[in-house]
Chain A
Amino acid sequence: MDKSKTINRKEFFKKIGTAYAIAVAGPSFFSSCKEKADPSLLEQLSVDWNKAPCRFCGTGCSVMVGTRDNKICAIAGDKKSPVNKGLLCVKGYHLGEILYGEDRFKKAFIKKNGAMVESSIDEALDLIAAKFKESIATNGKDSVAMYGSGQWTLQDGYAALKFFKGGIGTNNIEANARLCMASAVTGFLSTFGKDEPMGCYDDLDLGDVFVLWGNNMAETHPVLFSRITENKRINPNVKIVDITLRHTRTSQASDLVMHFNPQSDLAIANAIAREIIVNNQIKKDFVTKHTLFKAGTTNIGYGLEGVAEPTIEDQLISFEEYKNFVDKYTLDYAEKVSGVPAAQIKKLASYYGDPGVKIVSLWCMGMNQHTRGTWINNLVYNIHLLTGKISLPGSGPFSLTGQPSACGTVREVGTLTHGLPGGRNVKNKEDRDFTEKLWGIKSGTIPEKPSAHTINMFRKLKEGKIKAIWIQVTNPMVTLPDREKFLKGIEKNKPFIVVSDIYPTPTTKIADVILPAAMWVEREGCFGNSERRTQQWNKLVPPPGDAKPDSWYTIEVARRMGYENLFPWQKEEDQGKGLFDEYRKFTIGVGKDLATYEQLKKERGMRWPVINGKETKWRYREGSDSYVKKGEGFSFYGNKKLQNKAIIWERPYEPAAEEPDTEFPFWLTTGRVMEHWHTGSITRRVEQLHQAVPEAYVEINEEDAQRLKIKDGKKVKLVSKRGEITLKAVINGRARPHKGVLFVPFFDEDLLINKVTLDAHCPISKQPDYKKCAVKIEKV
């Protein structure tokens, strides 16, 4: 660069006068007009910074939110956060923009004569209350439903749960987290008797080997993956093992990449358990003291419509019986089923079996969106229990979650049909009694029987059995598997649909009432992340127009329906703390003890159980978890009736609900990309995110593409028994599926892959399998 030229130009600028410069170059001229620099500009440039957890995934990064003139103007990674230590991902850095899409809802809308008409909030709320009351009077309590989200704040979820179970008296409340982590919950409950991970993110810095079971962490939990790669950079002996259907950005950073056939993870996990037994690597004293063995009903079906639900039972078995069961999962058999070379499985088993290796298993949707989701969760726990590698720093199974408060709100508050706050269940009389007493409501208000899990709730909605539904913070018309089926039924039976959201979506298209929601830092709230960390934030900017928090809307409708006693907090400002403080009472003494609201306001989140103001890093281990008594060593105290022991399960390999055949020869698997959040309704309104991945596409293996003469970037048609979509083919893009596998991301409302998917689900968790169905691919 030629410095003399710059100086000449600056001198020239000086000569032509300040006024000129302001007129032409605007404020930018100040930089070169040094004599005129105004110190007061410093004040104008200043930004107010406050903490908040990120609005996107279940990692729970903390961000610093920069605000000026009541608007967000910048975002920074929060260096004080133990989760992300100052780092974010591309979504997090552009988080501030999600509030400001031009088509944001600012007013309520009511459908009148087929058109959405702007209305006052009062009119909308009166109408919702009247319609719900009418439906309950005519068709009973179970004719109304609430469908919420793992993006609900704790306060939103708690208010909705109390309104439905404690007010109306129906268990018809579900959340989209059913679609993303129900198998994780049933996996935890069946093995440990209590939900949520025993370990924490510290394990990512401390482990020696990280096994990713169908988890493209580099894209779906990028900040956590950077903790692993940072660990590997400092300790070159650290190994990453990627068990995957596609060669992804995660695979690029991995030491061992195991390409497996869909569904065969069940066989791989059993083969690893067998290897550990055969090689005498069982930690005998741990297994004897802290585990029991069980077998359950097999051939349990796939939850398909019109097929009767199976009766699922289980019984205790001996170690010998378990040993005989896994004996058929030889390395050769596992190789045959999974397509993974026996040597690779043996290598992985040796990491698990070596007592000197600290090992962490990580998974998310790959294992949870699985028609045997509960089983595969159990099977990975088996491996950690057999080797005693659990609840230890740097060693343990770690079930990651997808949404910012799937754990905090849906799992802990309990906004599912069977749930009650603090891990309670409507099926247990003492849990119902406790809840009814705390809420001060009539005994028997909460029904004993769960009503409908998400898929059944929408099946009932399409059949006209549910007459009115309120959908908050989620977009089921994009995310429901086989969505056309549901859409057709809804269009035919015309249930009354209320949608609270911030932008127009395919779900607001079917709404009779749209409520404009205040999102994220436009209101006060709390989220709970994957590692049991509860994080609080304050209201930092005003919401646009008439927008209000979901919890406020829920409370206002509850009042109009006569349940005002349940919600004594009149003003919005009192509801954040009020709802939390009441909910917190449910968490004390059940191993989920939350920190006080005052402490959460100060801290970058606290990991429960929080006892005497101190958080818990590793549960179930003496010295780390104060629920474990002195001398116990370990205690899986969720299984009180089973001597506080964890269960090692006999779970066989069973095939997927739908497998490729001659007509539909490809596996279709779906998922996320890093730049988009779920259905894209917020990230597609952020330029830096939208332009990176502007539309959905199908990834195809190069050899398959050559055989079918499919060219990169050209349109192809994907067809299943249920539906079809046309989209661009990508060959050797950011991920390369292995032969016979296709991948399509689900963020694009213009290219809905859920027209093609199947609503088969795990019969235990009721979570659909978005990762496996059979399709054909054709050139267009």
Chain B
Amino acid sequence: MNNQCKKILQVIGIIAVNLVIFSLFNCGKKDEHTQMREKRESLRAYEGAPPVIPHSINRTTSDYCLVCHEKGVIFEAEAVVMNQKNAQAKITPHPQWVNCIQCHGLRIDDSKFRKNKFMPYRITSTPFTKTKDNEGTPPAMPHMLQNHDNCIVCHLSKTAYATIIPEHGETEGCPLCHQQNEKLITFPEEGD
């Protein structure tokens, strides 16, 4: 019994030490894809929700928002723009909709909030990437397309995250090769 306990403790000890070493080693060095996903999640209630606005705003008209978000802006490294460090303005996939904060919530203050136990839908892993079985087939789209019909603004623009830029570069008609997963993207008919 004692031996068993010792062994368990040893194993736990080793794991713990390794964890610390790993954490120190990897501190602040999450891989880029994880970083991107975490940032995405922090701004969205669930996968597919419109992101909240991470920075302060002075005006709520679309012309004001579109100054940066129509074509996207990459500010200088470490620059703080509108209270955001390493600021980068992403391109909106729907510049035609002019009441931006109709969907994108502000972040003013979170005090007095009564807690909520909502369990959001998240894409915590990507089973659509290449495996030995599907080698050669284009990966399916792993996310919803709520109000996004322009893949390029996220995947190929100047503000695109490096890890989601396709290796083949820009080609027309993404959905021709990259199928939508029907459970994630299309809605079942009644009674299906």
B-facing residues in A18-40 (Cβ within 8 Å): 20, 23-32, 34-35, 37-40
Interface residues of A (CB under 8 A from B): 1-3, 5-6, 9-10, 13, 16, 20, 23-32, 34-35, 37-42, 45-51, 64, 66, 68-69, 71-80, 86-90, 93-94, 96-97, 99-103, 218, 222-223, 225-226, 229-230, 233, 249, 252-253, 503, 601-602, 674-675, 684-695, 734, 750
User: Given the known A-B contacts A89-B102, A97-B45, A100-B118, are A74 and B144 also in contact in the complex, defined by CB atoms under 8 Å?
Assistant: yes
Docked CA distance A93–B81 (Å): 28
0/1 string, B119-151, CB within 8 A of A gives 1 = 111011111111111000000000010110000
Residues from chain A with Cβ under 8 Å of B131 in the complex: 34-35, 37, 39
Residues from chain A with Cβ under 8 Å of B162 in the complex: 1-3, 6
Docked CA distance A16–B151 (Å): 34
0/1 string, B87-119, CB within 8 A of A gives 1 = 000000000111101111111111111111111
| Contact between B47 and A9, CB atoms less than 8 A apart | no
B177 part of interface (Cβ distance < 8 Å): no
Kindly identify which residue among A16, A71, A226, A229 contacts B119, using a CB–CB cutoff of 8 Å. Answer: A71
A-facing residues in B23-60 (Cβ within 8 Å): 23, 26, 29-34, 37-38, 45-50, 52, 60
| Contact between A37 and B127, CB atoms less than 8 A apart | yes
Residues from chain A with Cβ under 8 Å of B52 in the complex: 688, 691-692
B61 part of interface (Cβ distance < 8 Å): yes
Residues from chain B with Cβ under 8 Å of A503 in the complex: 114
| Contact between A691 and B105, CB atoms less than 8 A apart | yes
Kindly identify which residue among B37, B124, B163, B183 contacts A46, using a CB–CB cutoff of 8 Å. Answer: B183
Docked CA distance A762–B125 (Å): 59
Kindly identify which residue among B29, B111, B190 contacts A9, using a CB–CB cutoff of 8 Å. Answer: B29
Kindly identify which residue among A10, A23, A27, A64 contacts B125, using a CB–CB cutoff of 8 Å. Answer: A27
Q: Which partner residue on chain A sits nearest B44 by CB separation?
A: A688
Q: Which partner residue on chain B sits nearest A32 by CB separation?
A: B31
| Contact between A23 and B19, CB atoms less than 8 A apart | yes
| Contact between B109 and A691, CB atoms less than 8 A apart | yes
Docked CA distance A26–B122 (Å): 14
| Contact between B187 and A45, CB atoms less than 8 A apart | no
| Contact between A674 and B127, CB atoms less than 8 A apart | no
| Contact between A10 and B46, CB atoms less than 8 A apart | no
| Contact between A88 and B103, CB atoms less than 8 A apart | yes
| Contact between B99 and A249, CB atoms less than 8 A apart | yes
Docked CA distance A73–B124 (Å): 14
Main secondary structure of the interface of B (DSSP, over half): loop
User: Given the known A-B contacts A1-B161, A37-B126, A691-B106, are A97 and B116 also in contact in the complex, defined by CB atoms under 8 Å?
Assistant: yes
| Contact between B18 and A20, CB atoms less than 8 A apart | yes
Kindly identify which residue among A9, A79, A103, A249 contacts B60, using a CB–CB cutoff of 8 Å. Answer: A249
User: Given the known A-B contacts A93-B45, A93-B50, are A13 and B130 also in contact in the complex, defined by CB atoms under 8 Å?
Assistant: no
Residues from chain A with Cβ under 8 Å of B133 in the complex: 39
A-facing residues in B146-192 (Cβ within 8 Å): 146-147, 161-163, 181, 183-184, 187-188, 190-191
| Contact between A691 and B113, CB atoms less than 8 A apart | yes
| Contact between B49 and A39, CB atoms less than 8 A apart | no
Residues from chain A with Cβ under 8 Å of B19 in the complex: 23-24
10 contacts between A and B (CB under 8 A): A32-B33, A74-B48, A74-B144, A75-B48, A102-B117, A685-B113, A685-B115, A687-B113, A692-B108, A694-B109
User: Given the known A-B contacts A6-B163, A47-B183, A74-B120, are A101 and B115 also in contact in the complex, defined by CB atoms under 8 Å?
Assistant: yes
Kindly identify which residue among A25, A39, A222, A233 contacts B96, using a CB–CB cutoff of 8 Å. Answer: A233
B79 part of interface (Cβ distance < 8 Å): no
Docked CA distance A25–B115 (Å): 26
B15 part of interface (Cβ distance < 8 Å): yes
Docked CA distance A41–B46 (Å): 18
User: Shortest distance in angstroms between B109's beta carbon and chain A's nearest beta carbon?
Assistant: 4
User: Shortest distance in angstroms between B73's beta carbon and chain A's nearest beta carbon?
Assistant: 15
Docked CA distance A230–B62 (Å): 14
Kindly identify which residue among B22, B127, B183 contacts A24, using a CB–CB cutoff of 8 Å. Answer: B22
| Contact between A90 and B98, CB atoms less than 8 A apart | no
| Contact between A13 and B102, CB atoms less than 8 A apart | no
User: Shortest distance in angstroms between B121's beta carbon and chain A's nearest beta carbon?
Assistant: 4
Residues from chain B with Cβ under 8 Å of A66 in the complex: 46, 121
Q: Which partner residue on chain A sits nearest B131 by CB separation?
A: A37
Residues from chain B with Cβ under 8 Å of A45 in the complex: 123, 127, 183-184
Docked CA distance A218–B22 (Å): 51
User: Shortest distance in angstroms between A216's beta carbon and chain B's nearest beta carbon?
Assistant: 12
User: Given the known A-B contacts A9-B32, A74-B120, are A51 and B190 also in contact in the complex, defined by CB atoms under 8 Å?
Assistant: yes
With a 10 A CB-CB cut-off, give which of B107, B116, B123, B184 has the most chain A CB atoms: B116
Kindly identify which residue among B60, B104, B116, B119 contacts A687, using a CB–CB cutoff of 8 Å. Answer: B116
A-facing residues in B60-81 (Cβ within 8 Å): 60-61
User: Shortest distance in angstroms between B143's beta carbon and chain A's nearest beta carbon?
Assistant: 10
Residues from chain A with Cβ under 8 Å of B181 in the complex: 42, 46
User: Shortest distance in angstroms between A235's beta carbon and chain B's nearest beta carbon?
Assistant: 14
Kindly identify which residue among B104, B111, B119, B123 contacts A90, using a CB–CB cutoff of 8 Å. Answer: B104
Residues from chain A with Cβ under 8 Å of B119 in the complex: 69, 71, 73, 100
| Contact between B147 and A97, CB atoms less than 8 A apart | no
User: Shortest distance in angstroms between A671's beta carbon and chain B's nearest beta carbon?
Assistant: 17
| Contact between B114 and A101, CB atoms less than 8 A apart | yes
| Contact between A684 and B123, CB atoms less than 8 A apart | no
User: Shortest distance in angstroms between A748's beta carbon and chain B's nearest beta carbon?
Assistant: 9
User: Given the known A-B contacts A34-B131, A226-B97, are A73 and B120 also in contact in the complex, defined by CB atoms under 8 Å?
Assistant: yes
Residues from chain A with Cβ under 8 Å of B38 in the complex: 28
Residues from chain A with Cβ under 8 Å of B47 in the complex: 74
| Contact between B125 and A31, CB atoms less than 8 A apart | yes
Docked CA distance A9–B32 (Å): 9
User: Shortest distance in angstroms between A522's beta carbon and chain B's nearest beta carbon?
Assistant: 14
| Contact between B146 and A76, CB atoms less than 8 A apart | yes
User: Given the known A-B contacts A249-B99, A253-B98, are A694 and B116 also in contact in the complex, defined by CB atoms under 8 Å?
Assistant: no
Residues from chain A with Cβ under 8 Å of B102 in the complex: 89-90, 218, 222-223, 226, 674
| Contact between A6 and B105, CB atoms less than 8 A apart | no
Kindly identify which residue among A34, A94, A102, A734 contacts B45, using a CB–CB cutoff of 8 Å. Answer: A94
Kindly identify which residue among A3, A37, A86, A97 contacts B129, using a CB–CB cutoff of 8 Å. Answer: A37
User: Shortest distance in angstroms between A300's beta carbon and chain B's nearest beta carbon?
Assistant: 39
User: Shortest distance in angstroms between B128's beta carbon and chain A's nearest beta carbon?
Assistant: 7
| Contact between A100 and B116, CB atoms less than 8 A apart | yes
User: Shortest distance in angstroms between B95's beta carbon and chain A's nearest beta carbon?
Assistant: 11
Residues from chain B with Cβ under 8 Å of A601 in the complex: 190
User: Shortest distance in angstroms between B180's beta carbon and chain A's nearest beta carbon?
Assistant: 13
Docked CA distance A345–B38 (Å): 54
| Contact between A685 and B114, CB atoms less than 8 A apart | yes
| Contact between A20 and B116, CB atoms less than 8 A apart | no
| Contact between A684 and B45, CB atoms less than 8 A apart | no
Residues from chain B with Cβ under 8 Å of A73 in the complex: 46, 119-121
